[in-house]
Amino acid sequence: MKNVYLFSKIVLIIVFFSPSKSSALPASVWHKGQMTLFNKVTLEGELSYNWKTEIVLLRQSDGRVRAFSATQVQQFGWFDYSFHKQRNFLVLPTLVNKQTKSAFFEIYMDGSLAVVRRLRKSHGLFKRMFNHPAYYNDQPSLAQTTDFFDYFVYDAGQLRAFDRFNLDIYEPLLTAYDEEMRQYITSHNINDHTLLGRLVLIDHYNFLVQHDPKTASARGAGYTQEPASVSYP
């Protein structure tokens, strides 16, 4: 009986806070930026990106709005005044239903090991409550919620998922500084099972590589498309 009551209470809370069809949908957020097309042509104007549809809109000075998909674009970016930093996106190949397709990824952390991210697929009640694409226009409340995204290390042309951090990322990539990394984990009490902990470890690894003249240029040879440096929030 107690469980039934608790479930009913949760349902009522969800219904109460869920957006109604009559509620105004979130508006697009525009940023002045640049876009490089697949044919190397560079366009300038106001950009708006939708994470769900994976479409970037370009509003030019004459008021025209054009839509571009990942098959047409190489990279785009803007300075985000909400985060006081440059944000850049690039197109990478990824597997979807066992087929390779082009997809947009945001460069979340730049360096010897770059971290990129894309929207995580929603499931269950959350998917039904927020199924309209307008909820996925890039905006501060969405971009700063790290749990809405899947994260990858992009190394030598390969995407390595954070879900397999120890096997696919730490062991093959970070053990060159294993002693320093272990000391850092212990001295800073880092939980390497959490997303934040893993991001901190990669950031520290990039710091070690940057300050090690023997390996400063050894890593990242395959990462040739990155725009200007991007730090994570």
Q: Is residue 138 over pLDDT 60?
A: yes
Q: Which run of H or of E encompasses 107?
A: strand 99-109
Give the per-residue pLDDT at 96. Answer: 76
pLDDT, one tens digit per residue, over 190-205 is 999 999 999 999 999 9
Q: What gap in Å lies between CA 193 and CA 180, rounded to an integer?
A: 18
- Distance in angstroms (rounded) separating the CA atoms of residues 233 and 229: 13
More confident residue, 131 or 208: 208
- Could you identify the residue written with the tokens 């508006």? 27
Work out the average pLDDT over 155-183: 93
Q: Evaluate if residue 217 carries a pLDDT over 80.
A: no
- Rounded to the nearest 5 degrees, what angle is found at the Cα of 124, between the Cα atoms of 122 and 130? 60
pLDDT (tens digit per residue) in 24-41: 777 889 999 999 999 999
Least Cα distance to 174 among 146, 196, 147, 155 occurs for 155
Q: Model-level pTM?
A: 0.78
Contact 154, 89 (CB under 8 A): no
